Structure 1
Amino acid sequence: MRKKIFQYVQSHSDEILNEWIELMRTEADDRAVQAMSDHMFVKTSADFVALVMSNFSESEEVFHERAVDFSERIVRLGWPLTMMTDGLRVFGQIVENGMKKEGIIDQVSYFDFTAEINNWMFPMYKTITQAYTTSWERTVSLQKIALQELSAPLIPVFDKISVMPLVGTIDTERAKQIMENLLEGVVNHRAEVVLIDITGVPVVDTMVAHHIIQAAEAVRLVGAKCTIVGIRPEIAQTIVNLGINLEDVTTTSTLKKGVEQALAMTSRKIVEVQE
């Protein structure tokens, strides 16, 4: 029976692919279909069907390598895991219906067909699922590292003056990243004044204020001055209501004022040029 399945799949590969694409367009997650062009969807579908077919003729090691390579590509394309598991189910369904239609399997041989197709499909489910999961975890890990690096950048804007714009919520893990990037950046950029811009921080509570004050104190310990900019009226009111002490920290309402203060601290100022 395995030989009959293999022969049918090989001789009807184009028909299977076309039917698979049409069925997956209607059954698959809309986000996966809409996330790529029609040409890319057809090409990726063809690659997937070719991967499934290769399990008949290639060794387990070679199939695993191909599954890992394909999984890495579809993770980047945004295909969910269900696209692959549903794809295997649809593939088996197409083969079964086609072989029934051509009289290759009947009621007598159907049991042998079911046993053989399951023996063929289940290991593929496991291999493809593991390959996809590994690729997904690796991608998420790399993205997390990249986001951490971008979540608290220290940007040199003038000689001896750097700015750290903060956007979004600040938790303990991110506060640690802010501290590390801040101290490392001050040394690398030889900054004398650092502006911590909290304009994009939606909520400043006791914990957030504590982290920011700690960062400012750490900057002073490495020989630089620190100013917190972006103190909006509602944040100022919150800080007062919470009783948070910012007496030892220089603050301004806007980044523009902070830059002007930083220039003054480094014996410079902005001068308008007369035409």
Structure 2
Amino acid sequence: MNKQVYDFIRNNQEFILEKWMDIMRKNADERLIKVISDQMFTQTSHEFIDMVIANMESKNDAFTTKLSDFAEKVVRLGWPLFFVNEGLHKFTLIVLNGMAEQKIINPENQIEIINSLDKWSSPMNNEIVNVYTHTWERTVSLQKIALQELSAPLIPVLEGITIMPLIGTIDTERARQIMENLLTGVVKHRSEVVLIDITGVPVVDTMVAHHIIQAAEAVRLVGAKCMLCGIRPEIAQTIVNLGINLNEIITKNSLKKGIEAALEITSRKIIEVEEDHENSNFKTI
């Protein structure tokens, strides 16, 4: 890097930071500014400038570490790649304008300084894009795995009784996850009755119903009964209109009634036990 550029950046680091933060705040999407505090924005801006200077001084492990840490942080904060790229562009403009104001740039050295900044910033911009993209893809991949684990949980509530609460839409991939979790969980928990609660499923169409029927049949084959709970009136009407046959599946309109039915199937029931005139408890027998 040109020595005059290097000296200017080192000697005016605080000025550059303040100017950069002011410009980035004005150009940032309003939603971006709202989701982070002023303190976090200031801290992250400091880290960005530190990272830029680390690259300016030498391409070493320190810069690689700072870049990796910064990429992970901005991805976590939800800063778009455009904002990060724009940040580097604004940084070079601030440096050029500042050097012009201090009369460091003149007609004789102007081209040399601009070329020096460009030769330095372009490779760095490419590296930022690569690391940001890699970090984003890894983050999305980890989130996808986490969502898959939570998309079809099987919860043992009582001995022999387990519940699978479903929320949101059910596609082919999620249906496969439901099937796997059901079969694995039924065997693991030695379930006699499995309740699939679709209260939180907004739409039940032919495909969804087909997947549920398949899951119920699979549960039956491993020796347990399957019960479908949370059938709202509009879903019941849709099932009838589609001509879907649920005759082989026990259905209940709420999870509460499903649990009561599951207790009956397992030869148990909930009774009220009076301890005194003021307090009473419930127990399962």
TM-score (norm 2): 0.93
Partner Cα separation in structure 2 for residue 161 and residue 107 of structure 1: 83
Partner Cα separation in structure 2 for residue 67 and residue 19 of structure 1: 21
Q: Structure 1: which 5+ residue stretches go unaligned?
A: none
Partner Cα separation in structure 2 for residue 43 and residue 31 of structure 1: 18
The amino acid of 2:155's aligned partner reads I
Q: CA deviation at 1:222?
A: 1.2
Partner Cα separation in structure 1 for residue 171 and residue 77 of structure 2: 31
Partner Cα separation in structure 1 for residue 14 and residue 176 of structure 2: 55
Aligned-partner SS, 2:69: helix
Aligned-partner SS, 2:226: strand
Equivalent residue for 1:153?
A: 153
Equivalent residue for 2:76?
A: 76
Partner Cα separation in structure 1 for residue 67 and residue 131 of structure 2: 6
- 1:8 to 2:8 alignment: yes
Equivalent residue for 2:205?
A: 205
Structure 1 moving runs of 4+ over 6 Å: none
Equivalent residue for 2:133?
A: 133
Q: CA deviation at 1:191?
A: 1.3
Task: Tell me: higher relative CO, structure 1 or 2? Use CA pairs within 8 A at least 6 residues apart.
Answer: 1
Equivalent residue for 1:87?
A: 87
- 1:63 to 2:63 alignment: yes
The amino acid of 2:42's aligned partner reads V
Partner Cα separation in structure 2 for residue 32 and residue 229 of structure 1: 41
User: Mean alpha-carbon deviation: is it higher for 55-64 or for 206-215?
Assistant: 55-64
Partner Cα separation in structure 2 for residue 53 and residue 214 of structure 1: 60
Q: Deviations over 1:118-145 (max 9, x none)?
A: 0011001000111111000000000011
- C-alpha RMSD of matched pairs (Å): 1.2
User: Mean alpha-carbon deviation: is it higher for 27-36 or for 12-21?
Assistant: 27-36
Contact 1:157 1:163 in 2 (8 A): yes
Q: How high is the sequence identity, in percent, across the aligned residues?
A: 58
Matches for 1:167-246 after TM superposition, within 5 Å: 167-246=167-246
Equivalent residue for 2:115?
A: 115
Aligned-partner SS, 1:21: helix
Contact 1:85 1:125 in 2 (8 A): yes
Matches for 1:38-53 after TM superposition, within 5 Å: 38-53=38-53
Q: Deviations over 1:67-110 (max 9, x none)?
A: 11210111112211122101101100110011001111112221
Q: Deviations over 1:163-202 (max 9, x none)?
A: 1111111111110011111111112222111000111111
Equivalent residue for 1:32?
A: 32
Aligned-partner SS, 1:162: strand
Contact 2:54 2:62 in 1 (8 A): no
User: Mean alpha-carbon deviation: is it higher for 96-105 or for 231-240?
Assistant: 231-240
The amino acid of 1:115's aligned partner reads N
Partner Cα separation in structure 2 for residue 107 and residue 185 of structure 1: 76
Partner Cα separation in structure 2 for residue 188 and residue 4 of structure 1: 70
Partner Cα separation in structure 2 for residue 34 and residue 49 of structure 1: 22
The amino acid of 1:156's aligned partner reads P
Q: CA deviation at 1:239?
A: 1.1
Contact 1:64 1:127 in 2 (8 A): no
Aligned-partner SS, 2:197: strand
Aligned-partner SS, 2:135: helix
The amino acid of 1:241's aligned partner reads N
Contact 1:196 1:229 in 2 (8 A): yes
Q: Deviations over 1:2-45 (max 9, x none)?
A: 11100000000011111111111101222222211111110110
Contact 1:67 1:128 in 2 (8 A): yes
The amino acid of 1:106's aligned partner reads N
Q: CA deviation at 1:58?
A: 2.0
Q: CA deviation at 1:250?
A: 0.8
Equivalent residue for 1:105?
A: 105
| Count of matched residue positions in the alignment of Structure 1 and Structure 2 | 275
